[in-house]
Amino acid sequence: MKNSARFMVLGLAGTLLLAGCNSDKKQPEGAETDPAMSGALGDQIMVDPEMTGQDGAALGANGGQITLPPAERSPEAIAAAKADAADVAGGKLTDIPQPTRGSAATLTETAATAAQVAAAARTAHTDCAGKAQYSNTWAARLPAEIPVYPRGAVQEAAGTDSDGCALRVVNYATPVSPEDVVSFYYTMANKAGYGAEYRLDGDDHVVGGRKGGKAYVVYARKLGSGVTEVDLVTSGK
């Protein structure tokens, strides 16, 4: 299994380092010590009891490929997820513009630096990504305006609110297309007053922006299994 949330956290740490924030750690604290996650990551089927039902479903791994049970990726399930997304967004999703092709690194850097919300954290160049703790409960602590796509199956999540940091990183799977995912976040972000920039970075559909001291970035990609994998980062407050 890819453990994409861990790669995203490490990527954020690297982004902060390149931006001039010092870090003496290669691995986030708790990356290998969270008993709930260390047990779940070895299982063939991952289910977080707190994320099942409306906000999550069983997530399987087949040769390292993320999959969803057939019932969760049927045409009926896809239609239900899209309907729920429209309801959450207020009844209708916004048509998305054509994406700009190229690197989305600036969107990731914005999210990484916005994680340091306290002046003391910025002055001390605190590595907020390095303080991330792994637990799927962080997916339930996302900002209300930037949630997991309805019926998304959370694979892994991390976050921290310590030492002036505010960071959430969630990796999940959904049966809807990457464009559907982008449309949802594009709509939710604009509705909440965030900016929303849409880029196509290789195979990744990326949307991100900020509002004051808060920022988000979403990476969505279609896998060979037909499932869309999503990396969602929110930061600041």
Phi, psi dihedrals of residue 231, rounded to the nearest 5° = -110, 120
Report the SS3 class of residue 88. helix
Question: pLDDT of 89-133, one tens digit each?
Answer: 999 998 999 998 988 877 877 777 776 666 666 566 667 778 888
What is the model's pLDDT at position 57?
39
Spans of the chain below 50 pLDDT: 1-3, 13-62
The rounded distance, in Å, linking the Cα atoms of 159 and 136 is 9
Taking the whole predicted model, whether its pTM rises above 0.85 is answered as: no
Structural domains counted in the chain: 1
Domain of residue 85 covers 4-235
- Residue 130 to residue 120: CA distance in whole angstroms: 16
Q: How confident is the model at residue 66, as a pLDDT? A: 79
Q: CA–CA separation, 108 vs 7, rounded Å?
A: 13
